[in-house]
Copies of this chain bind each other. A is one copy, B any other.
Amino acid sequence: MKAAILALGSELLGTIKLDRNSLRITAELEHFGVELIGKSTIGDDETTIGDALKHWMEHADVIITTGGLGPTTDDLTRSAVATALGRTLSQDPELEAQLRRRFASLGRQMAEVNRRQAEIIEGGTTLSNARGTAPGMRIDHEGTTIFLFPGVPREADYMIEAHLRPWLQEHASANGITETIEHALLKIACLPESEVEQRILPAYEEFGREWITILGAPGEVTLHLKAQGEKPDCEKKLQTMQERLRELVGDSVFTNRANASLAHVVGELLTEKTKTIATAESCTGGLLAERLTRVPGSSAYFLGGLATYSYESKTDLLGIPTALILEHGAVSEPISNAMAQAVKAKYGSDYGIGITGVAGPTGGTDEKPIGTVHITLAGPAEADIEHQLKRFPGDRDRVRLQSTQWALHMLRKRLNLTQCG
Binding site for B on A (CB under 8 A): 10-11, 13-20, 23-24, 26-27, 30, 36-43, 45, 48, 51-52, 55, 58-59, 72, 74, 183, 209-210, 213, 215, 224, 226, 279, 281, 284-290, 292-294, 296-299, 302-310, 312-313, 317, 346-347, 360-362, 396-397, 400
Contact = CB atoms under 8 A, between A and B. Distances in A.
A309 B302 contact: yes
Contacts of A20: 18
A13 B36 contact: yes
B43 A51 contact: no
A224 B17 CA distance: 11
Given A58-B51, A289-B286, A38 B38 contact: no
5 contacts: A52-B55, A285-B289, A286-B293, A286-B305, A290-B290
B313 A347 contact: yes
A14 B226 contact: yes
B285 A298 contact: yes
Choose among A14, A37, A312 the residue with the greatest number of B CB atoms under 10 Å from its CB.
Answer: A14
A299 B310 contact: yes
A43 B290 CA distance: 41
A306 B307 CA distance: 6
Contacts of A39: 13, 40-41
B292 A285 contact: yes
A296 B17 contact: no
Given A11-B213, A72-B209, A286-B290, 17 more contacts: A10-B210, A13-B26, A14-B30, A14-B224, A16-B23, A18-B20, A38-B42, A51-B58, A279-B307, A285-B289, A285-B290, A286-B287, A286-B289, A287-B293, A289-B289, A303-B312, A304-B317
Contacts of A58: 51
Contacts of A296: 360-362, 396
A58 B361 CA distance: 49
Given A26-B14, A303-B310, A305-B286, A55 B45 contact: no
Given A294-B285, A306-B305, A307-B286, A37 B48 contact: yes
